[in-house]
Chains A and B, each alone.
Chain A
Amino acid sequence: MCSFMFQPTFQSSQKQKRFGCFKTFALRLHSMLHCDYFKAQKMELMLRNQEHFLSKIATNNGHGEDSPYFDGWKAYDSDPYHHTKNPKGVIQMGLAENQLSFDLIQDWIMNNPRASICTAEGADDFKDIAIYQNYHGLPEFRNAIAKFMGKVRGNMATFDPDRIVMSGGATGAHETMVFCLADPGDAFLVPTPYYPGFDRDLRWRTGAQLVPVICDSSNNFTVTRDALEAAYKKAQEAKIKVKGLLITNPSNPLGTILDRETLKSLVRFTNEKNIHLVSDEIYAATVFKSPGFISIAEILEEQDMEGINRDLMHIVYSLSKDMGFPGFRIGILYSYNDAVVSCARKMSSFGLVSTQTQHLIASMLSDDHFVDKFIIQSKHRLAKRHGVFTKGLEQVGIESLESNAGLFFWMDLRRLLSEATVEAEMALWRIIIKEVKLNVSPGSSFHCSEPGWFRVCFANMDDETMRVALRRIKTFVLQTKGGQEASAKKQCRRQSLQVSLSFRRMEDIMMTPHLMMTPHSPICSSPLVRART
């Protein structure tokens, strides 16, 4: 009778010290202790009735927080690694943040007090900045952003400040884009694997849908025309109206960039179908190795793209990754479609960038010398980090997808899976969290069609933590490998047995279960299965 009471009404995170959560729990405990069945029933009913008291949007799972993507974060939150205070804690490798170049920015801040309206030097600007609430944004801010976007693309494309629209981070930009382009029920095609946040950002309040464009490792997860057509056809058959294609370039979670030909084929595809193309270029400045980054903006300038309808082209950008400023909520919508610029600008009222921040960024990004230095240094440091990790893993036989961008790499642990299923991937992931104490993100949370891939972030920690993380992975793999080698020897013997048995009649073989050689056979069990028990 009392057992049902221990089920939480909603997932509570360690970090959420909500008054309400404790109140609910305390009330339940009170009821249980008095074992007043009817009182408890009444309260349960009251809480359930709440569900009709709020909107459908408020009570559905559109917020996306039930994904394992966030479970790992919770594990980290409750046991965070610290050099000295908690050396056995979980290392956060599930958060794509760029923390490698803050020293450069701090120096600049110290040397440019005018950029802050809180300093004596900058205080004169305080009032004007504080009352400016025009949704066009400070002209100097838009100019600085436009210039920065051009530089990040090697000046292979120029951006018009009047097409720059602000939003509450890229999160806000994506949602606004969908509100402008799609009606409830309409869909966007999104190549897999993709950033888990899209499920919420593009769908939750907009009512739009996502139709995955399946990509796989056979061609390094490149988006093919066939895959696009297949996804489009599937949507049509389900009577779902496709309004656009959303690509992330450089890719999250792959860390790869799209080559010129692929980009052109995407542009042609969307143009033919008369659907929008939204290019999320939030990782544009993190391309640390050649080939260089090619933006959709650059493609549109090419000769053979003259017939393309530019009203279908839009870019989402932000300073959260390239500069490492997620806290400042600087989201940018850039559209070649005047009506979209106009509409998005009006909608930006719901998520403008604080003018205090606009002012700081305008100042910082118009310092050419600083920006040029920063972009180069940041790439250099990312390249180094990436190299240390991927080479370190190679040494113990762990491969990752060849990449040249992003704040993460796409690690291949397929051969460590007991079977090629999502369940096996999740089992492996749980071991990595609980025993190796690393929060990495399972490929299934990115809707990857192939189990066994994991996204590992490397730019959100210092060098010492990085060394510890690498050491832990290596140790884990070697331990596992030891078990695997033993298992591989067993495998060899069985195979020779199989050859000699092939001369026997099928029925005889079928009658001897201990000789059945399916990959799922417990005889060939992966060390992971052993580790779990």
Chain B
Amino acid sequence: MTIEVEQPSVELSKIAVSETHGEHSPYFAGWKAYDEDPYHESSNPSGVIQMGLAENQVSFDLLEEYLEHHPQEASWGKGASGFRENALFQDYHGLQSFRNAMASFMGQVRGERAKFNPDRVVLTAGATAANELLTFILANPGDALLVPTPYYPGFDRDLRWRTGVNIVPVHCDSSNNFQVTPKALDAAYSRAEAMNIKVKGLLITNPSNPLGATIQRSVLGDILDFVTRKNIHLVSDEIYSGSAFSSTEFVSIAEVLESRDYKDSERVHIVYSLSKDLGLPGFRVGTIYSYNDKVVTTARRMSSFTLISSQTQQLLASMLSDKSFTQNYIKTNRERLKKRYQAIIGGLRNAGIDCLEGNAGLFCWMNLSQLLEKPTRECELDLWNTILQEVKLNISPGSSCHCSEPGWFRVCFANMSEQTLEVALTRIHQFMEGRKTNGGNLNF
């Protein structure tokens, strides 16, 4: 016979009960709406179209074609005995062949304007893990990283949640196309100082998410000068480097370092992943490339918590070391993304909507500020909700990206078929027409 006893609720950690995981952001609320009512061409044509997920689905056929022609290499390498070796391989250095292939691929993506040493490539399960890991290495709890706004909402979790590190935003605005300026950097640094927070680094995303634009060489130079002056680290998240519409328009921090003879490069670290450029987010392939030996060693040790499956390393080692495949892939992927971009920009313009001039990424940065009753975050979220519930499009509100100017939205275009994109554009067009006939009545 048992007696019901009131159990004292057991405590979890502070990290566990905090909200820093960030899932209550509207960024994710829209995903839930999509999950509950997902668009499908035939079975659910009036469902929500997912335009809040930055995925690249435009070039899968190329990958599938590769696999069709190279089944052996892609699988276990040397056939039957290859499996065993592969399954046992847990060295945190990663498969040499894979590191070589990654280093070579990263060089190709940059038009060979920068070379990467395989021994500096550290592997992690996705860029999510890479960014968190770097933060653990570069900053102590309570310290801060400067991050230019608007930025990828996931950073709030990845950089802060378990590390206890803060993000101090570097405010950028549309007056100069949201570019980072030395003035904004200095202002952010001073703000941190005033709050008695120690700044340990600056994290930039280049090409930018959510802007969909590359950072200009001169700005990269300013950024390098700034971090050198303040003696802090620079993390350049180049996850969209292969998604720049033209190879020459993207300038990597690696190139700028090269032009400076790698002087002071020990403060620079690059994050990369195959989730966007190759469209393989499920495989969890991230890397940290650091010019700092101690960071490489430590990051490698820490990667024990987040290694890439050796099975996946094998597949990608084979794929990425096939130079003719990668050359063709990079070129074709760029062309298709550019075409998509032009299609969406054109469609939006026809609907009377302007976007920031972009040249990279899987999304465009759309300006709907003229539709806001008042230039506030609340009005932006109202508009966002309207678009979600009535136009049935999940797009991401700028405020979830910490944009200081209300009214901007990130719209993804590479995670759907061309037909679906057309349907989305038609809906937007209808929505804008509807607003005109209502005489600008914003209570839709």
Point out residues on A near B: beta carbons under 8 Å.
10, 15-21, 23-24, 50, 53-59, 63, 65, 97, 99, 102, 105-106, 109-110, 116-120, 123, 126-127, 129-133, 168-169, 171-172, 175, 178-184, 186, 200-201, 204-205, 243, 274-276, 306-307, 309, 311-312, 320, 324-329, 337, 339-340, 343, 346-347, 349-357, 360
Contacts and interface: CB of A to CB of B under 8 A. Distances in A.
Contacts of B280: 130-131
Interface stretch (B133-141, B238-246, B329-337): B133-141
A126 B63 contact: yes
A329 B71 contact: no
Nearest to B128: A349
Most buried by A among B83, B93, B158, B284: B284
Given A55-B138, A109-B83, A133-B282, A351 B15 contact: no
Contacts of A350: 125-126, 128-129, 132, 158, 162, 305-306
B309 A327 contact: yes
B3 interface: yes
Contacts of A102: 83-84, 87
Interface of B: 2-3, 5, 7-16, 21, 23, 55, 57, 60, 63-64, 67-68, 71, 74-76, 80-81, 83-84, 86-91, 93, 117, 119-120, 125-126, 128-129, 132, 136-141, 143, 157-158, 161-162, 200, 231, 233, 266-267, 275, 279-285, 292-298, 301-302, 304-312, 315
Nearest to B290: A20
Nearest to A328: B309
Contacts of A17: 119
Contacts of A130: 60, 63, 279-283
A55 B93 CA distance: 22
B309 A307 contact: no
Given A180-B15, A346-B23, A58 B294 contact: yes
26 contacts: A15-B93, A20-B296, A55-B137, A55-B139, A58-B137, A102-B83, A116-B75, A120-B71, A127-B57, A133-B281, A133-B282, A171-B304, A179-B13, A179-B16, A180-B15, A183-B15, A243-B11, A276-B10, A325-B87, A327-B311, A328-B311, A329-B125, A329-B308, A349-B128, A350-B305, A354-B282
Contact of A132 (B117, B139, B282): B282
A44 to B, nearest CB: 14
Closest 6 pairs (CB-CB, A-B): A20-B293, A327-B310, A355-B282, A354-B309, A118-B74, A133-B281
A57 B132 CA distance: 13
Contact of B87 (A182, A186, A324): A324
A169 B128 contact: no
B64 A127 contact: yes
A121 to B, nearest CB: 9
A180 B13 contact: yes
Nearest to A327: B310
Contacts of A311: 7, 9-10
A351 B129 contact: yes
Given A55-B137, A58-B298, A169-B307, A356 B283 contact: yes
Contacts of A325: 87
A320 B76 CA distance: 18
A210 to B, nearest CB: 16
A324 B86 CA distance: 11
Contacts of B295: 54, 58
Contacts of A204: 302
B12 A19 contact: no
A106 to B, nearest CB: 5
Contact of A329 (B15, B279, B307): B307
Contact of A181 (B12, B88, B275): B12
Contacts of A18: 119, 293, 296-297
A205 B310 CA distance: 24
Given A119-B71, A183-B14, A355 B138 contact: no
Contacts, number: 252
A99 B85 CA distance: 10
Given A10-B297, A343-B12, A353 B309 contact: yes
A360 B311 contact: yes
A274 B5 CA distance: 13
B140 A65 contact: no
Contacts of A346: 21, 23, 157
B118 to A, nearest CB: 9
B88 A309 contact: no
Contacts of B86: 327
Nearest to B141: A184
Given A350-B129, A356-B283, A63 B310 contact: no
B298 to A, nearest CB: 5
A10 B310 CA distance: 28
B311 A307 contact: no
Given A50-B294, A63-B301, A118-B71, A354 B283 contact: yes
Given A18-B119, A105-B83, A180 B306 contact: no
Nearest to B291: A20
Given A126-B67, A179-B16, A180-B16, A356 B312 contact: yes
Contacts of A328: 87, 309-311
A8 B84 CA distance: 36
A427 B244 CA distance: 60
Contacts of B16: 179-181, 339-340, 343
Most buried by B among A17, A169, A354: A354
Contacts of B132: 350
Contacts of A275: 10
Contacts of A117: 67
A306 B7 CA distance: 12
Contacts of A53: 231, 233, 267
B128 A131 contact: no
Given A19-B119, A54-B298, A357-B312, A327 B89 contact: yes
Contact of A182 (B13, B55, B76, B315): B13
A327 B90 CA distance: 4
Contacts of A312: 10
Contacts of B311: 327-328, 354, 356-357, 360
A123 B68 contact: yes
Given A106-B80, A205-B162, 14 more contacts: A50-B294, A57-B140, A58-B138, A63-B298, A63-B301, A129-B282, A131-B279, A131-B282, A200-B304, A328-B311, A343-B16, A343-B21, A350-B128, A350-B305
Contacts of B137: 54-55, 57-58
Most buried by A among B89, B141, B281, B304: B304
